[in-house]
Amino acid sequence: MALPSFNWWGKGSHKGTPVVVTMENPNWSMVELEAPSESDFQTTVTQEKARGKNAKQLTWVLLLKAHRAAGCLTSVASTLFSLGSTIRRRVISGRTDNNDSTPSTENNTVKTRFYNCIKSFLWLSLLLLGFEIAAYFKGWHYGAPKLQLQYIFTAPFGVRDLFDGLYSRWVLIRVGYLAPPLQFLANVCIILFIVQSLDRLVLCLGCFWIRFKKIKPIPKQDAIVDLEENGFFPMVLVQIPMCNEKEVYQQSIAAVCNLDWPKSKILIQVLDDSDEPTTQLLIKEEVHKWQQDGARIVYRQRVIRDGYKAGNLKSGMSYSYVKEYEFVAIFDADFQPAPDFLKRTIPHFKDNEDVGLVQARWSFVNKDENLLTRLQNVNLSFHFEVEQQVNGVFINFFGFNGTAGVWRIKALEESGGWLERTTVEDMDIAVRAHLHGWKFVFLNDVECQCELPESYEAYRKQQHRWHSGPMQLFRLCLPDIIRAKISMWKKFNMIFLFFLLRKLILPFYSFTLFCIILPMTMFIPEAELPAWVVCYIPATMSFLNILPTPKSFPFIVPYLLFENTMSVTKFNAMISGLFQLGSAYEWVVTKKSGRSSEGDLVSLVEKETKQQRGESEPNLDETKTDILREQKSRQKKHNRMYTKELALAFLLLTASARSLLSAQGIHFYFLLFQGISFLLVGLDLIGEQVL
């Protein structure tokens, strides 16, 4: 077929004239076209240039992304290499929690028994894993245990070899003797898990209701008028208990001395339990400096340090001048109240004679310091915004947090004052005050800055004290709760919800279900844990826990894994407190870094010298030298490995390997990542890194 020929007329001077296109093929019809204008050509050229420019831009964008990807891979490789080097140095050093030179909150006998128990499970799991792998390659890899039993009973006698006979007996023992009690224990833990999850869900619904209705404690109008217009300021005693906390003493004393309250109506007690002479001298000098500035502040130190913090506070309340004061505000050494703290808390007592405590929430100056502080921030934000706020609004009772609160002195005295019988003196006085009919107010919008533990060692010891103390208190207070003249609902709430469910059941099922039963079900598959127990409900609870801190959503998975990891410490502490095992009554002060109060020691000495012109300071140079020496020695601390966490890490990783044989997807991933979490914590890679 002949191709059509085109005759193009009109170019240059003929622009705008019609162009006739003739075609030799008779089947083609005549077409009349308009000749393109010069502007059309310019537009075409511009479009071609734009396409070329866009292509170059796309190329540069792709190259930039490739460069970023390469940089990311390099960073990941560098991080992994650094992590490997850190692990290698830590393993070579051999420092573990068993040779910790600092005071321990666990009795060595109890700790050794607990560790040996976990280690026995580990060795047994390794033995069973080898047994199961051998059976798998021998053909014992049926999808369900029922098929294994069917094969055992239908196989001809004598056909199988010795190994098959041993494995068949092991399967029969599993089915007849091991699986039923394990399944029963698993079902009990699942029920406890569901009950505790419902409790948490109810608390979250209560928090949503408070936000929806915009409910918050509001002081009576005449109380605000008395402060702002009539100048009525009640007498307030402020106590700052501290013990060898040279890193943070300045910030708390300065913040309290700057409280916006008439100086004639406030007295500050610095209750120093330090046994380090250098620290004592520094605190005395700081108090003296503020006394010269006009603050009503006194320094008190006990000769006999009995009862730890409770004994220290009790000693501060024993002075005769305390009778002149109506309220007492308590701040730990690392807390920094805002200047208007008293003006926002004291009015809630006005014309509310049954209110015994006003508690403020905590905020944290170092919440973004490392992964450990971020996870603590999630946990404590839920505690304050959900647990404390809901209990305060609906039942007027919650556990006193030990600091950042104001007590009516009359409530303290009627409740028996501070007692040294447990390591949770704050919870002790709160329970006794509630039994005497006093009500509590929680202010979620009043914050007091403080510091989170940055090292896993400090956080672990703090959590041990926080979870062993409530069990000691439960043993002591149970008869008083039963005999108290309060409603049955309040007794139920205090016994079942406050103590049993949130202080005993939570650490019990967390450790038992996810660290013991779940890995055992991998080796005894006749006992099963549903996927919704392993994955869906924990994920939902973690989602609810992280709602008060929406910026922490990227850490939802690490938070879930870390909470299960901490269940080992909490379970051990709960057992120690409940059965009075180990050093349940020992108090270890949480280490502070003083991140918000770091200053030049030389400038501090110069400032004190300037304020004390003409006075001799014979020990000033020695003090500075001692401080620098102590700081240098403090910097020589080391990270260490934690044996229980490492043993559980290998136990869970062994169970995850066993789960591959039975193709249990969700169980495998949970055990794998939980095992890695235990491994990171056991190697002390989650918090402050020293050496």
Name the packing angle between helices 277-292 and 249-257 (round to 10°): 20
97 Rama class: left (phi>0) / alpha (psi -120 to 50) / beta: alpha
Closest to 237 (Cα-Cα) out of 399, 92, 413: 413
10 Rama class: left (phi>0) / alpha (psi -120 to 50) / beta: left
Distances in whole angstroms, Cα of residue 393 to Cα of each of 347, 389, 544: 17, 6, 20
State the Cα–Cα distance between residues 427 and 442, nearest whole angstrom. 15
Closest to 149 (Cα-Cα) out of 185, 179, 184, 128: 179
Structure tokens at 416: 């028996």
* Overall residue count recorded for the chain in this entry: 691
Block residue for tokens 């479009």? 47
Cα angle 605, 611, 617; round to 5: 55
State the Cα–Cα distance between residues 392 and 385, nearest whole angstrom. 10
Name the packing angle between helices 179-213 and 537-546 (round to 10°): 30
Residues identified as active-site: 273, 426
Strand-pair partners of 299 = 270
Block residue for tokens 């939802």? 556
State the Cα–Cα distance between residues 593 and 379, nearest whole angstrom. 20
Q: Residue 240 belongs to what H/E stretch? A: strand 236-242
Closest to 569 (Cα-Cα) out of 689, 463, 434, 669: 463
Q: CB of 597 within 8 A of CB of 253?
A: no
Q: What are phi and psi of 584, to 5 degrees?
A: -70, -20
Give the helix ranges, DSSP H, for 335-424. 341-345, 371-382, 389-394, 409-414
What is the dihedral angle through the alpha carbons of 37, 42, 43, 45, rounded to the nearest 10 degrees? Answer: 130
Give the Cβ contact number of residue 501 at 10 Å. 18
Q: Which residues of 141-172 are buried (b: 16+ CB within 10 A; e: fewer)?
A: eeeebeebbebbeeeeeeebeeebeebbebbe
Name the packing angle between helices 537-546 and 371-382 (round to 10°): 90
Which three-class secondary structure state does DSSP give residue 143? coil
Which three-class secondary structure state does DSSP give residue 420? coil
State the Cα–Cα distance between residues 67 and 63, nearest whole angstrom. 6
10 Å CB burial of residue 485 (0-12, 13-18, 19+) is exposed
State the Cα–Cα distance between residues 95 and 461, nearest whole angstrom. 17
Q: CB of 438 within 8 A of CB of 486?
A: no
Q: CB of 683 within 8 A of CB of 90?
A: yes
State the Cα–Cα distance between residues 569 and 459, nearest whole angstrom. 10
Which three-class secondary structure state does DSSP give residue 512? helix
**HSE (side-chain half, CA atoms, 13 Å) at 492:** 3
Structure tokens at 271: 């209750």
Closest to 37 (Cα-Cα) out of 62, 72, 13: 13
Q: CB of 668 within 8 A of CB of 655?
A: no
